[in-house]
Amino acid sequence: MHIKKLIGLFILSLALVNCKEESIQITQTQIIPIPNSIELSDSFFTIDENTGVTYDDNLKVSAQFLKNFIETGSQITLKQGNAIQFLIDETLEPEAYKLTVSKKEIKIEASTDQGAFYAVQTLRQLMPVGLENGAFSENEILIQAVVINDKPQFSYRGMHLDVARHMFSVEFIKKYIDALAMLKLNTFHWHLTDDQGWRIEIKKYTKLQEVAAYRDETLVGHYSDRLHQFDGKRYGGYYTQEEVKDIVQYAKERFVTVIPEIEMPGHAQAAIAAYPELGCSDQPVEVAKKWGVFEEIYCPNQKTFAFLEDVLDEVLELFPSKYIHIGGDEAPKTRWKNCEHCQALIKEEGLKDEHHLQSYFITKMEKYLNSKGRQIIGWDEILEGGLAPNATVMSWRGTSGAVEAAKSGHNVIMTPTSHCYFDYYQSENDDEPLAIGGFLPLEKVYGFNPIPEELTENERQYVLGAQGNIWTEYIPTEKHLEYMAFPRMLALSEVVWSQPERKNYKDFVSRLENFHQRLDALKMNYANHLYDIEYETERINDEVYFKLDSNLSEDKIIRLELNGSEPDYESRVYTEPILIDKSMEVKAAVYKFNSKEKLGRTFTQNINYHKAVGAKITINKQPYKAYSGSGAQGLINGISGSDSRYGDKEWLGFWGEDILIEIDFREELEINSIKTRFYNSNGQWIYAPEKILVAFDNNQYQEFNLANDELLINFEFNVANQRAKKVYIKVQNYGTIPEGKQGAGNKAWTFIDEIIIN
């Protein structure tokens, strides 16, 4: 037998010799998420037909999972015996485990079946990839000797899935849950209802299945497209209660808790389409066929509350979870403002306004769920008007909601758009599948710290963990969904499981490169951007340099061409940053060292050298942390942002603030034009300014009005032989988003791109 049969935990450097003469050098572990501690040995345990399994009855689920994994993935049938032992250790925390592999035995120790299950998921990654799909044909499995002590950093480790916009099969939902379990994620947040569809059978209200579950047609293209087009095809469906029970039980056997989300008071148009009396106008509406936020909202009257209590009664029978998610986000108040009943209720209850009416609504539903022994989770809008007494906040609009809730003694789950929205683009490549917008690369997910810096040591206890969200407006197929989820889900698993001091992105990339084999075996359609080249610019002594990086291991290099053809294996090797002193096109690619093999795609970047490149720039306000691009200097580095996504390295985002930009050339220059542009995706709360002001040195500002009916709003100011040392640009924020628009009542975002001065 040969060491080449060993696949999984380690990258090995060895001669292929007989096992009795093994000589190996272990260079790197390959487990994701990385355990707290690993002690390695140079021997191996062999699983074969003589291997037996014994377990404490309290660890039966995890033991049976391991037995089934080995027997269905190979030709080996395990016997009764103590070669593989599952043992109770009551000193360990509920989700902790100790895994010991020696030459003679495997021991899994845990205080709960859940802890032992996570040990099995680790052990799974020590075994050949072929076991994942039954492709392993050997009669023995070799496992490296190791001692692993491990436990999670956070108690809540979740992934979300929206099935209201696009629905996925029961089989696929189980595949999704399998992936969570493999990565030691313990919560599946199932978003079941929204404006575009109601996806769960409620037997008392049959119109939810007959009407609310189907829309007449679906938007084609992007919501930001100026002319909306539709496919003309009826779309919909729902999960029967039997299917829901099956999925919940399937998840339970993998120690994944399923938390259902039943949206209220907003995102209710599908339900109101079925039962118009639930709205404030009693007027018929249709199930929404495009994306966005709609004004239809549950009317806070006895009929509505009775309906929701009946719905929740059936939901509670299906989901044994401690938490029920009630949404609470993006609830426009227009209908309530024009509703006689709502206005009378505000006066009767002594409420301040419609925001406090939402708090009244949420509190009423929370009390009902509390009376049933359950607790609510809501998006951070439930903070508006006062937080319901026992609510847990899911913070998505940045981290401010989490900070506010934690400082008030409420539990929080971190899921900010900046790091946890996996429906955002993950690459700047032009051929990426259509996404809602934004930009969330793998490294940014991996770098997420779920504990906000503003919290004290005592307040940090209220951060239960984090969750990745996948909204499916632009994700119609299972393959597309897998592409958006992986590998970002793997990065998140390490964020929420592993201790911060164990994390290292380059090491993670190396382990991920190996993990791709497992994803291949599982037929997972993952995105592979490991060989994408990243760049940054750096200003040194009034000069700007262009730097490349690709998280390269020692056996890989970058080859590049300037203003030339595609790089090949004869192109020059990138060794130092490139001075930006003229316009140029940079093309680069990753190659294996001393090899003609190109890895990944060609990186291309156009650099537009202009008079502001290398100048000093200051902005009176800091960009929002999640959308800080390349910083202020990135506005004059010669590189323009993406035409289709606002969250890349070049766009700078400011939330609800006017900004003043000063560009200092340090000497008087002749200026003929100033150009820039603004992002204008109203569906994502981003509005171009209506007004911009420009001044030279200490001269009076000149004011310009901007149109705002395109996705990208260009600004160009041409002057004749203007001489100046400094340029000042005032950008006025759009202000509050108006009623009837997505995000109504919230501050608008401003996103600004490269400022080009010639």
pLDDT in tens, 702-734: 999 998 778 899 999 999 889 999 999 999 999
Instruction: Judge if 227 and 375 occupy the same domain.
Output: yes
Length of the chain: 758
Q: How is 192-203 classified by DSSP, letter by letter?
A: -EETTEE-B--T
Q: Residue 382: pLDDT above 90?
A: no
What would the pLDDT profile of 160-197 be if each residue is shown by its tens digit? 999 999 999 999 999 999 999 999 999 999 999 999 99
Q: Is 349 a catalytic residue?
A: no
Q: How confident is the model at residue 19 (pLDDT cuts 50, 70, 90)?
A: very low
Q: Is 329 a catalytic residue?
A: no
Per annotation, catalytic residue among 222, 267, 355, 529: 267
User: What is the spatial distance between Cα 548 and Cα 553, in angstroms, rounded to a whole number?
Assistant: 14
- For the segment 289-293, the average pLDDT, to the nearest whole number, is 93
CATH number at residue 695: 2.60.120.1190
Domain boundary among 579, 607, 635: 607
Judging by DSSP bridges, how do beta strands 463-468 and 534-540 pair with one another?
unpaired
- For the segment 413-417, the average pLDDT, to the nearest whole number, is 96
What is the number of domains present in the chain? Answer: 4
H helical segments located in 98-169: 113-124
Instruction: Judge if 456 and 596 occupy the same domain.
Output: no
Compute how many other C-beta atoms are within 10 angstroms of the C-beta atom of residue 20.
6
Per annotation, catalytic residue among 95, 113, 132, 194: 194
For 703, phi then psi, to 5°, come to: -105, 140
Instruction: Judge if 310 and 195 occupy the same domain.
Output: yes
Q: Is residue 13 part of a domain?
A: no
Peptide bond into 33 cis (omega under 30): yes
Q: Could you tell me the two tokens for 95?
A: 């989700």
Per annotation, catalytic residue among 132, 330, 384, 648: 330
Instruction: Provide the strand spans (E) within 81-186.
Output: 84-88, 97-101, 106-110, 141-150, 156-162
Q: Which residue, 159, 170, 141, 165, is CA-closest to 246? A: 170
Of 75-84, 168-177, 617-626, give the range with the top mean pLDDT.
168-177
> pLDDT at position 49, please?
92
Domain boundary among 120, 150, 180: 150
> pLDDT at position 5, please?
35
Instruction: Judge if 183 and 43 occupy the same domain.
Output: no
> pLDDT at position 29, please?
63
- For the segment 430-448, the average pLDDT, to the nearest whole number, is 92
Better-predicted residue by pLDDT, 420 or 541? 420
Q: Is 683 helix (H, G, I), strand (E, B) or coil?
A: helix
Q: Which range is least confidently modeled, 108-122, 379-393, 647-661?
A: 379-393
Instruction: Judge if 268 and 222 occupy the same domain.
Output: yes
DSSP H or E segment with residue 65: helix 60-73
Contact 104, 52 (CB under 8 A): no
Question: Quick one: 218 exposed, middle or buried, by C-beta within 10 A (0-12, 13-18, 19+)?
Answer: buried
Instruction: Judge if 300 and 375 occupy the same domain.
Output: yes
Instruction: Judge if 124 and 201 occupy the same domain.
Output: no
Contact 589, 598 (CB under 8 A): yes
Q: Identify the sign of the CA torsion 516, 519, 521, 524.
A: negative
Q: Identify the sign of the CA torsion 301, 304, 309, 312.
A: negative
- For the segment 729-750, the average pLDDT, to the nearest whole number, is 90
Q: Is residue 2 part of a domain?
A: no
Q: Residue 553: pLDDT above 80?
A: no
User: What is the spatial distance between Cα 585 and Cα 572, in angstroms, rounded to a whole number?
Assistant: 15
Percent of the chain with pLDDT over 90: 80
> pLDDT at position 645, please?
79
Q: Is residue 4 part of a domain?
A: no
Q: Is residue 349 part of a domain?
A: yes
Residue 716: which domain range? 616-757
Instruction: Judge if 252 and 113 occupy the same domain.
Output: no
Instruction: Judge if 146 and 180 occupy the same domain.
Output: no
Q: Is residue 155 part of a domain?
A: no
Q: Could you tell me the two tokens for 383?
A: 């903070």
Measured between alpha carbons, how far apart are the two ends of the chain, in Å?
Answer: 70
Domain boundary among 498, 523, 558: 498
Instruction: Judge if 183 and 302 occupy the same domain.
Output: yes
CA distances from 320 to 5, 186, 368, 495 (A): 43, 14, 16, 27
Q: Which range is least confidently modeled, 314-323, 404-413, 469-478, 733-742?
A: 733-742
Q: Which residue, 598, 643, 431, 644, is CA-closest to 527? A: 431
Q: Which range is least confidently modeled, 224-228, 236-240, 292-296, 605-609?
A: 224-228
CATH number at residue 98: 3.30.379.10
Q: Is residue 511 part of a domain?
A: no
Q: How confident is the model at residue 740 (pLDDT cuts 50, 70, 90)?
A: confident
Q: How confident is the model at residue 574 (pLDDT cuts 50, 70, 90)?
A: very high
H helical segments located in 253-294: 269-274
Q: Is 38 helix (H, G, I), strand (E, B) or coil?
A: strand
Query: 531-554 as b/e, with b when 16 or more CB fall inside 10 Å?
Result: bbbebebebeeeebbbebebbbee
Q: How is 322-362 classified by DSSP, letter by letter?
A: SEEEEE--S---HHHHT-HHHHHHHHHTT--SHHHHHHHHH
What DSSP character marks residue 232? -
Instruction: Judge if 65 and 202 occupy the same domain.
Output: no
What would the pLDDT profile of 245-282 be if each residue is shown by its tens digit? 999 999 999 999 999 999 999 999 999 999 999 999 87
Whole-model pTM?
0.86
Cα 80–chain centre separation = 43
Q: Is residue 523 part of a domain?
A: no
Q: How confident is the model at residue 8 (pLDDT cuts 50, 70, 90)?
A: very low
Q: CB-hemisphere CA count at 13 Å for 84?
A: 24
Compute how many other C-beta atoms are within 10 angstroms of the C-beta atom of residue 736.
13
Q: Is 410 a catalytic residue?
A: no
What would the pLDDT profile of 107-122 be if each residue is shown by its tens digit? 999 999 999 999 999 9
Q: Could you tell me the two tokens for 416?
A: 């900010």
Q: How confident is the model at residue 554 (pLDDT cuts 50, 70, 90)?
A: confident
User: What is the spatial distance between Cα 255 and Cα 337, in angstroms, rounded to a whole number?
Assistant: 45
User: What is the spatial distance between Cα 521 and Cα 307, in angstroms, rounded to a whole number?
Assistant: 46
Compute how many other C-beta atoms are within 10 angstroms of the C-beta atom of residue 606.
11
Peptide bond into 487 cis (omega under 30): yes
Q: Is residue 322 part of a domain?
A: yes
User: What is the spatial distance between Cα 586 and Cα 633, in angstroms, rounded to a whole number?
Assistant: 20
Instruction: Judge if 318 and 445 occupy the same domain.
Output: yes
